[in-house]
Amino acid sequence: MDWLVQHQPLLAGAIALFSAQGLKTVTNMAKERRLNFRVAVGTGGMPSSHTALVVSLTTSVGLTQGFETPLFDVCVVFASIVMYDATGLRQAAGKQAAILNKIMEELSEFQLPREQRLKELLGHTKLEVIGGALFGVMIAMLVHYGW
């Protein structure tokens, strides 16, 4: 039990990550009326589990170590990079994958070797990242004050 208290930020981050993935799976199942295991392990969707992880970790570090510490500062920078990547770079890569998949479909009439489709749902919308951030703060608060 002492280990869990000492590593509260890690625990909060892990709970946020897995519960966000679980939440995505449940909401997708309710929408599609079937269980899709790819959603449980995939990227994209609401809430952003990567964002939930880093924001929960950052919030928990702030709550346990202090919001004025250099460690909290490092966590804020780390979380900012992850969230920027989710909405910027990975979102753009997903759009490019969709375009390349469409081009490959159109070229299929020329009997070219069939390539595997690229994964299109890579990034997140800003709303999904905001949802992940709010979820991460909530999980960190529950873990911290639930002790």
Percent of the chain with pLDDT over 90: 39
Cα–Cα distances (Å) from 56 to 30, 59, 60, 101, in that order, read 26, 5, 6, 35
Band (128; pLDDT cuts 50, 70, 90):
confident
pTM, two decimal places: 0.73
User: Which position has the higher pLDDT, 112 or 146?
Assistant: 146
How confident is the model at residue 1, as a pLDDT?
A: 64
User: Which position has the higher pLDDT, 97 or 33?
Assistant: 33
Band (141; pLDDT cuts 50, 70, 90):
very high
Mean pLDDT of 60-71: 95
Mean pLDDT of 123-128: 76
